[in-house]
Chain A
Amino acid sequence: MARSVRFREALREAMTEEMERDERVFLMGEEVGYYNGAYKVSEGMLDKFGPKRVVDTPIAEAGFTGIGVGAAMVGLRPIIEFMTWNFSAVAFDQILNNAAKLRQMSGGQFDCPIVLRGPNASARQVGSQHSHAMEHMYATIPGLKVIAPAFPADAKGLLKTAIRDDNPVLVMESETLYGVKGDVPDGEHLVDLGKAQIVRPGKDITLVAYSRMTHVALEAAQALEKDGISAEVVDLRSLRPLDENTIVASVEKTHRLVIVHEGWPYGGVGAEITDRVQRLAFDALDGPILRVTTLDVPMPYNAKLEQACMPQADRIVSTVKRLFARGRA
């Protein structure tokens, strides 16, 4: 059986179940306790677990991220919430130099079983400093794992698996997905990291996306259907490890690939996938791999300009059509 659950509730279920299961797991971040979460993800958790395990912090991301790393190093399993991933920029040193490297620079003596989570990428008109897609920067770092679920069931299952993982796992959520509902299976629900899923089968083109862009890609696929183009949508769920097998298998079927993500086009997850697919499936491709990303500028405040910067279904549709037009030419 399954229940219809909002994305934020699915995350809360994951944390609550894991905290009930394992005394070593605790939640720490700004406003996670008495305020019940800036986006209400942790609503009710302070009442349930008390201030020892649901820890409100001052505004000190470097400090409390470092606290999490140190606590993880000696055997606790912290969940650190960033009010948004934008604020992780001031904790970047803790993530890059400590969380990601501890195991290797200690010759494998120490692990860092920490989960870092929070909303990522654009919200609604929150301006240039609050709209970053930070996953591109983190997915490049060996020693980290990075996940980006699009649906409540995956949010729950992936977060539970992340909490049980012995490595640092970064969970990219989305402010605009927190209220989205979806079916979540009853009972214990775990989803493996590193497994993409085909959320819409198709035969003419592969659209690869993750997090909120999976929904935008599905919208584009519907529009393309009306024009007689059958798009297959691959929802990555996990960015590192990256499920290149599922991507390659889809491209071998459709022979065309468009990658959709928020964040700038210079480098990043889309460029990484492009590299892998041209290496692994060069002969299967009937055209260049194209990307639909945030425009290559800081995010503007103006609503229309913001929408113009973000990947939209119509930009995906026109990009796909350009690929087909080129194919005919």
Chain B
Amino acid sequence: MQPRPKEDVDHLAQLYREMLLIRRVEEESARGYAEGKIGGFLHLYIGQEAVAVGAIAAMKPEDYVVTTYRDHGIALAKGMPPRALMAELFGKATGCSKGLGGSMHMFDKEHNMLGGYGIVGGHIPLAAGVAFASKYRGDGRVTTCFFGDGAVSIGGFHEGVSLAALWKLPIVFVCENNEYSMGTPLSRSLSLEDTSQKALAYGIERDRFFADDVLEVERRFAEAIKRAREESKPTLIEVRTYRYRGHSMSDPAKYRTPAELEEHKKRDSLGRARAGLLEQGMAEARVDALEKSVEAEVADAIKFANESPEPTIDLLESTTYNGPFAY
């Protein structure tokens, strides 16, 4: 029997809570960046929350995820505590990667979050390797590999998908099409409008849908994940989404109009989920309470990150090699 998302109010409330947590963590990350508490690059997930939350809701805890440098939302959706994420952004020893990874490299072994990667497309063969290991061991796990529309032009995408198709690996490739490869619109970076058509060349299944409705995202992912788990067949999914912020914090997004952004915000998946909750009879007071609990969790994460110690230099050699340093 096909796994169906639980379409009850509690389930939607849970997904709404996860999406709101991501959005609020990202907004506070932007603030932390402006205050100089976060350095380097910071790529926010605001606007794309339903992709991570819907996809991961369709997965089991033992399933693996691998993603790009826009990785905060996926890490949180996979179960990383906001404290560990915020502390990592602040470069603290209590961060998920002990402050050594930063915004682009969120790893959480306990929750099978296998990391954010900074080289576009470079993680796609790696994700196929994780799925290869599942097939080799017969452990029944599925790997979901996220990337942006900017990644489908690079070799790593093609080699990773090609090998996964050849060896029938239990993996779901997810192109989060947010319409822009940094500042370049898809129309100027790809000969196709629909990136899922790349699946045709590799003879694998494909799907394409909008991320407006998190329950629909979950339902569509469930099909691909079932195909991976039960038939060991890969799928390429294009989820059509939109990031509300620039590519990174240094990008004012002058390549698009405010009207375009406003048009997309009308389809906001959080607003839709919230309205759905009220429509389905959840009391406004309960929604408020849920939102307040998110605020408290985010505030706690920031406090934790602020108060945590920085990593010390003795950590460097032992994290570079397992065993004695090789010099």
Contact = CB atoms under 8 A, between A and B. Distances in A.
B55 interface: no
A72 B321 CA distance: 15
A110 B320 CA distance: 11
A265 interface: no
B116 to A, nearest CB: 9
B161 to A, nearest CB: 9
B326 A241 contact: yes
A66 B133 contact: no
Given A73-B114, A107-B95, A142-B320, A60 B129 contact: no
Contact of A66 (B114, B125, B137, B318): B125
Contact of A70 (B109, B127, B322, B324): B127
Interface stretch (A97-105, A121-129, A229-237): A97-105
Nearest to B324: A241
Given A67-B128, A76-B133, A98 B117 contact: yes
Contacts of A76: 133, 136-137
Interface string B98-127: 111100010111000011011100111111
A240 B316 CA distance: 17
Interface in B127-145: 127-134, 136-137
Interface stretch (B37-45, B152-160, B209-217, B221-229): B152-160
A64 B124 CA distance: 11
A107 B311 CA distance: 10
A163 to B, nearest CB: 14
B163 A60 contact: yes
Contacts of B319: 103-104, 107-108
A26 B167 CA distance: 15
Interface in B277-327: 315-316, 318-327
Contacts of B159: 60, 62-64, 66
B162 interface: yes
B201 to A, nearest CB: 14
A249 B24 CA distance: 61
A109 B109 contact: yes
A107 B127 contact: no
A75 B109 contact: no
Interface residues on B, range: 35 or more
A109 B105 CA distance: 12
Nearest to B131: A70
Contacts of B131: 70
Interface in A58-112: 58, 60, 62-76, 90, 93-94, 97-98, 102-111
Residue among B163, B321, B326 with the most chain A CB within 10 A? B326
Nearest to B106: A106
B163 A145 contact: no
B64 interface: yes
A60 B162 contact: yes
B327 A63 contact: no
Contacts of A63: 125, 128, 156, 159-160, 162-163
A68 B159 CA distance: 13
B100 A67 contact: no
A302 to B, nearest CB: 33
B125 A70 contact: yes
Interface in A263-320: none
Interface residues of A, number: 47
B97 interface: yes
B98 A62 contact: no
A98 B129 CA distance: 12
Interface in A24-76: 26, 52, 57-58, 60, 62-76
B96 interface: yes
Contacts of A69: 125-126, 129
B105 A94 contact: no
A128 B96 CA distance: 45
Residue among A26, A104, A167 with the most chain B CB within 10 A? A104
A71 B95 contact: no
Given A98-B117, A108-B319, A66 B156 contact: yes
A68 B136 CA distance: 12
A97 B130 contact: no
A104 B313 CA distance: 12
A57 B4 CA distance: 37
A185 to B, nearest CB: 25
15 contacts: A58-B163, A63-B162, A66-B123, A69-B125, A70-B66, A70-B127, A71-B130, A73-B114, A97-B117, A106-B101, A107-B100, A108-B98, A143-B320, A167-B323, A241-B326
When A and B form their complex, which 3 residue pairs have the shortest distance between CB atoms, in order from nearest? A70-B129, A66-B125, A63-B159
Given A73-B130, A104-B316, 20 more contacts: A63-B162, A63-B163, A64-B159, A64-B163, A66-B124, A66-B156, A67-B163, A69-B125, A70-B131, A70-B132, A74-B130, A90-B155, A98-B117, A98-B123, A102-B115, A107-B100, A109-B96, A110-B107, A145-B326, A165-B323
